[in-house]
Amino acid sequence: MSWQHTRSMSPEQLALAIATLKMKPAAASRFVGCSYRQMVRMLKGEREVPVPTSLLLGCMVAHRLRPLVPRRVPGTY
């Protein structure tokens, strides 16, 4: 099944996608536009991975695209 058909992502799949893209959870949270705390909750399975996040990361992994992660803004994570 292709990444385009999968509209959900398990915490393990999320962790694998982040590792494949050579990001840390903090960088991944900035890349997808959520807080670090939300990313940690998704990785722990306490929160579902949003469909746009799973599609974006799936696309990035499938096409071997390198993410351009925004710089950290002081006072935020």
* pLDDT tens string 5-14: 778 899 999 9
Mean pLDDT of the chain: 91
Token pair 């710089």: residue: 71
Asked whether residue 34 is assigned to any structural domain, the reply reads: yes
Asked whether residue 75 is assigned to any structural domain, the reply reads: no
Closest CA to 4 of 48, 47, 43, 56: 56
CA distance 28 to 20: 11
Number of domains the chain contains: 1
State the pTM of this model.
0.87
Cα R_g (the chain), whole angstroms: 12
Asked whether residue 56 is assigned to any structural domain, the reply reads: yes
Asked whether residue 24 is assigned to any structural domain, the reply reads: yes
pLDDT mean over 12-28? 96
Asked whether residue 69 is assigned to any structural domain, the reply reads: no
> Rounded to 5 degrees, what are φ and ψ at 18?
-65, -45
Asked whether residue 74 is assigned to any structural domain, the reply reads: no
CA distance 24 to 8: 21
Tell me which residue range forms the domain holding 46: 11-62
Asked whether residue 23 is assigned to any structural domain, the reply reads: yes
Asked whether residue 35 is assigned to any structural domain, the reply reads: yes
Joined tokens for residue 47: 């929160």
